[in-house]
A = this chain, B = another copy of it.
């Protein structure tokens, strides 16, 4: 019979960059006992993103960072919401350009991620933050 579980995962960041928390989610899936189901993640913030990306060559993430830093530069003169720092409005735009939700089916008691896929919290602010992700699991 189908059941559900709710969790909250906390991801501490040291400022802008990618933080792999795939293992935390896989552990929750393992603990649920679900052989098949669906995992949904929601990031409770508007200046960071949830991103599934390549977990092999770290240069991929550095190139992503370089591209977004050029596309939405800190201190961009177009922006008027500047009271929270040069990196705040760019963080909101980066979040709008990416995602704050992820939905991943579970099969054989694991997330159906591809071989090279990792789940990242992408911190867009320069300062360290404590980020909260709500996790919903449903399955059997």
* A54:B46 contact, CB within 8 angstroms: yes
Is A136 part of the contact surface with B, judged by Cβ < 8 Å? yes
Q: Known contacts A36-B4, A138-B2: does B92 contact A60 (CB below 8 Å)? A: yes
Q: Name the residue among A8, A60, A71, A138 with the largest chain B CB count within 10 angstroms.
A: A60
B residues in contact with A59, CB < 8 Å: 80-81
Report the interface size class on chain A: 35 or more
* B135:A138 contact, CB within 8 angstroms: no
* A40:B38 contact, CB within 8 angstroms: yes
* A78:B89 contact, CB within 8 angstroms: no
CB distance from A16 to the nearest CB of B (A): 15
B residues in contact with A92, CB < 8 Å: 53-54, 60, 63-64
Contact with B along A1-35 (1 / 0, CB 8 A): 01110101000000000000000000000000000
